[in-house]
């Protein structure tokens, strides 16, 4: 029997497979196309009858990943206008009081969607959790600073989706008062942003930030420079009215050329220091300190926030190898070039000596990836332990069996979702199922009652649970000398 559920805009029909009911592609907001692309989200229009929710919905306009990353992850792109949609997996639409997880996908704020096989929520529903995955506006659509348009439209979409969850999730058996927000990479950064955002308060009870930080935000003036540069490429005035007349295809083409220009010529005098420093050449349109939704850098707001919700946060041990080795960047990092590259990223080159001492056989590219992994991901994440609210930290250490990847960025996701069978282009063949069982169970426990299975971290005792195979362990303040040297070496602090 096909399950039918009533939500705020009408009735939706899902499907049941192996005891799990799924409802795919449900619009949670009106289609943001034409002039509406540059406005705040609005309620989805009501529909008559029963809407089929049996296939993934459209995705925001985006370019495919470059070939090396596409080979690891694939790319996203389902055409259509109703791309502000979400998916729900539940063990029992007729149930009640089930814990809820809301997933925000990554993709550098410019790519990705909730339609990836790796994000299928069936394993969470199998284990008694209602899983919701959302889409949001990406790239220029979500984050370009355009005069006359609100900042941070993509984050506003995420908050709008959380309001939808609060209003509707009980119809799928979920508890609206037991919602855990989680995401990875740009999705994890979104989680940290929403932890700091006043309009998001009260919409979730806990948060999980995977491979995230609280420093990847752009100053409004620098974001404005980028918005004007985008208008120049389109040959239009820098105004919401003019951008409202631009097609999605024109917007994507201009966005792609600007992104390439920024990557090749990362000049702070041209683009603005915060665009270049926080974006690292990987991001261009991303969240903006707007004085409203984001009053300041999230890492600073959270350090002063006395009543933050409990957090589970962590990183993969070799995050930045994902951006360094498959892309070919590693070939240009040698003992001769490493000092200049570290200076470009804002670090005294002497920091490499500490990392080298702990890694006597590491190449210059290995050292670069280790330093930037800590700078971008581990440093901010460990700082969350300073809050009075419980903070559980983890490091995912199991390395891919494919060459040069190690425990790189994204490696934890198929283990968290228990979706190893669809991730072999990333993990290599035969990844350890017992590690997926352990990792996935920790997320279920945290979403259910707030305890993933190990002690919370504090500034005095920085406990980090290390996920690995054949054995996971708890380590107190791992590689503390490297993190201390990194903080001392930063020229940007």
Domain of residue 332, CATH code: 3.40.50.1820
Boundary of a domain, candidates 256, 282, 309: 309
Query: How many domains, in total, are found in the chain?
Result: 2
Instruction: Answer yes or no: do 244 and 344 share one domain.
Output: no
Same domain, 295 and 319: no
Beta bridge partners of 12: 5, 51
Q: Please, are residues 238 and 231 in contact by the beta-carbon 8 Å criterion?
A: yes
Taking residues 70-89, what's their average pLDDT? 95
In whole angstroms, give the CA distance from residue 84 to residue 60: 8
396 and 280 together in one domain: no
- pLDDT tier, 493 (very low <50, low <70, confident <90, very high otherwise): very low
What's the pLDDT at 280?
Answer: 76
Query: What pLDDT does 269 receive?
Result: 81
DSSP 1: -
pLDDT tens digits, 20-44:
999 999 999 999 999 999 999 999 9
469-484 pLDDT per residue, tens:
999 999 999 999 999 9
- Secondary-structure breakdown of the chain: helix, strand, coil percentages, each rounded to the nearest 5: 40, 15, 45
Q: Do 106 and 57 fall within a single domain?
A: yes
Residues 284 and 354 in one domain: no
CA distances in angstroms from 204 to 101, 243, 315, 344, 489, listed in the order given = 9, 34, 22, 38, 37
pLDDT digits (tens, 9 = 90+) for 109-128: 999 999 999 999 999 999 99
pLDDT at residue 492 tops 70: no
Global pTM? 0.96
CA dihedral 363, 276, 66, 113 (to 10 degrees): 120
Cβ neighbours of 80 (radius 10 Å): 12
Residues 36 and 14 placed together within one structural domain of the fold = yes
133 and 158 assigned to the same domain: yes
Task: Please tell me whether residue 33 adopts helix, strand or coil conformation.
Answer: coil
pLDDT per residue as tens digits for the range 157-194: 999 999 999 999 999 999 999 999 999 999 999 999 99
pLDDT of residue 273 exceeding 90, the answer is: no
Structural domain of 211? 1-309
Q: Do 383 and 302 share a domain, yes or no?
A: no
Report pLDDT for 357: 96
pLDDT for the residue numbered 268? 85
Domain ends where: 264, 294, 309? 309
Could you tell me which of 321, 454, 354 has the C-alpha nearest to residue 394?
A: 454
Mean pLDDT, rounded, of the chain? 95
Question: If you average pLDDT over residues 296-325, what whole number do you get?
Answer: 93
Paired residues of 52 in beta bridges: 13
- Tell me: do 166 and 281 sit in the same domain: yes
Residues 80 and 120 in one domain: yes
Examine the fold and report which residue of 264, 281, 309 is the final residue of a domain before the chain moves on: 309
CA distance 486 to 366: 16
CB-based contact 396:411 (threshold 8 Å):
yes
Residues 294 and 327 in one domain: no
> Would you please indicate which residues are annotated as catalytic (active-site) residues?
185, 319, 409
Q: In terms of domains, do 285 and 361 share one? A: no
How far apart are the C-alpha atoms of 151 and 286, rounded to whole Å?
A: 10
Mean pLDDT of 41-49: 97
* Rounded mean pLDDT, 445-462: 95
CB atoms within 10 A of CB 67: 9
């Amino acid at each position: 029997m096909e399950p039918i559920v009533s939500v705020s805009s009408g009735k939706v029909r899902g499907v049941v497979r192996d005891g799990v009911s799924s409802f795919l592609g449900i619009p949670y907001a009106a289609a943001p196309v034409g002039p509406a692309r540059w406005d705040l989200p609005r309620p989805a229009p009501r529909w008559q009858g029963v809407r089929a929710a049996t296939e993934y919905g459209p995705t925001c306009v985006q370019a495919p990943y470059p070939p090396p990353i596409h080979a690891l992850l694939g790319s996203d792109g389902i055409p259509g206008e109703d791309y502000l949609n979400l998916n729900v997996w539940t063990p029992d639409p007729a149930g009640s009081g089930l814990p809820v997880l809301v997933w925000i996908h990554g993709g550098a704020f410019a790519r990705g969607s909730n339609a990836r096989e790796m994000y299928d929520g069936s394993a969470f529903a199998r284990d008694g959790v209602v899983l919701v995955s959302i889409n949001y506006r990406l790239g220029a659509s979500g984050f370009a600073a355009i005069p006359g348009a609100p900042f941070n439209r993509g984050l506003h979409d995420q908050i709008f989706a959380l309001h939808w969850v609060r209003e509707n999730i009980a119809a799928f058996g979920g508890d609206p008062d037991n919602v855990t927000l989680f995401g990875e990479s740009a999705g994890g950064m979104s989680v940290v942003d929403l932890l700091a955002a006043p309009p998001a308060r009260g919409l979730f009870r806990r948060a999980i930030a995977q491979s995230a930080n609280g420093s990847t935000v752009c100053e409004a003036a620098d974001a404005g420079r980028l918005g004007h540069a985008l208008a120049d490429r389109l040959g239009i005035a820098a105004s919401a009215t003019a951008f409202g007349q631009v097609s999605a295809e024109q917007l994507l083409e201009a966005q792609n050329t600007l992104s390439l220009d920024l990557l090749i010529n990362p000049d702070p005098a041209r683009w603005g220091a915060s665009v270049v420093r926080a974006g690292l050449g990987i991001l261009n349109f991303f969240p903006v300190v707007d004085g409203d939704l984001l009053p300041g850098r999230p890492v600073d707001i959270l350090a002063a926030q006395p009543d933050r919700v409990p957090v589970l946060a962590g990183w993969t041990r070799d995050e930045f190898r994902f951006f360094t080795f498959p892309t070919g960047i590693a070939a240009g990092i040698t003992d001769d070039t490493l000092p200049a590259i570290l200076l470009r990223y804002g670090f005294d080159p002497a920091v490499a000596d500490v990392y080298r001492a702990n890694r006597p056989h590491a190449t210059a590219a290995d050292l670069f990836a280790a330093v930037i992994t800590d700078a971008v991901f581990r440093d901010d994440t460990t700082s969350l332990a300073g809050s009075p609210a419980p903070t559980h930290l983890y490091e995912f250490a199991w390395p891919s069996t494919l060459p040069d990847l190690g425990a790189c960025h994204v490696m934890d996701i198929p283990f968290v979702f228990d979706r190893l069978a669809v991730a072999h282009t990333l993990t290599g063949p035969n990844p350890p199922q017992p590690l997926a069982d352990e990792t996935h169970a920790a997320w279920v426990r945290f979403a259910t009652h707030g305890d993933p299975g190990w002690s919370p971290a504090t500034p005095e005792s920085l406990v980090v649970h290390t996920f690995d195979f054949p054995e996971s362990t708890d380590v107190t303040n791992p590689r503390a000398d490297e993190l201390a040297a990194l903080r001392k070496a930063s020229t940007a602090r």
